[in-house]
Chains A and B, each alone.
Chain A
Amino acid sequence: QKEVEQDPGPLSVPEGAIVSLNCTYSNSAFQYFMWYRQYSRKGPELLMYTYSSGNKEDGRFTAQVDKSSKYISLFIRDSQPSDSATYLCAMNRGSTLGRLYFGRGTQLTVWP
């Protein structure tokens, strides 16, 4: 079993919909939680990160972490066609730089 599980989708929604993306993990030592966005034929780019449990909001994006359930979410409000991409969750223990554990990614398509 991978340490980070993520449903690969694909997920297809109409423009303006609220999108919910999720990951579960097994290692309770994870402290930093990230969401990366990857456009086709490009490398991933950091979208949001949170430390420990709680919520973080940035414009149309909200990241949530529930450490008790080992579950993280990314919500996209008022989704746009430009949000069409693969979204990867990632996490690490914080004490070891760079050792990020990624989910497989969820492919999202927002149609006009």
Chain B
Amino acid sequence: DAGVIQSPRHEVTEMGQEVTLRCKPISGHDYLFWYRQTMMRGLELLIYFNNNVPIDDSGMPEDRFSAKMPNASFSTLKIQPSEPRDSAVYFCASTQHATNEKLFFGSGTQLSVL
């Protein structure tokens, strides 16, 4: 199994631009999570899906952030417009219900907004 796949690995953009981060979860996993990691705040849950349906989006910081999961094998996190304070590493993770303590993380997308 290839694990959770995220793209791009690095993204550098200018303030005001739209940014789209992509994630392919592990096949058969029915939960998908988006986390953001910064030095100051650590790992923060942004949103998670169960069977492609958003369950908890209380961590999404602002309306500038949106996430979709059109099917079981693909999810996107979009920031529009981007701001310098959005600079962070964004992780996608997936799991099965039966193993709720074990999240499988992707390698992350390092986002820099100039």
**Which chain B positions have C-beta within 8 A of A60?**
none
Binds B, one of A10-18, A38-46, A64-72, A74-82: A38-46
In the bound complex, residues from chain B placing their C-beta under 8 Å from that of A105 are 42-43
Interface residues contributed by chain A, number (CB under 8 Å): 23
State whether the Cβ of B108 lies closer than 8 Å to any Cβ in chain A.
Answer: yes
Cβ B43 vs Cβ A44 within 8 A: yes
Q: Which residues of B contact A46 (CB under 8 A)?
A: 101-103
Contact A43 B105 (CB under 8 A): yes
Q: Which residues of B lie under 8 Å from residue A61 when comparing CB positions?
A: none
Binding site for A on B (CB under 8 A): 4, 31, 33, 39, 41-45, 48, 50, 55-56, 91, 93, 95, 97, 100-108
In addition to A6-B42, A88-B43, A103-B42, 7 A-B residue pairs with Cβ atoms within 8 Å of each other are A41-B107, A42-B107, A94-B100, A98-B103, A99-B48, A100-B103, A102-B42
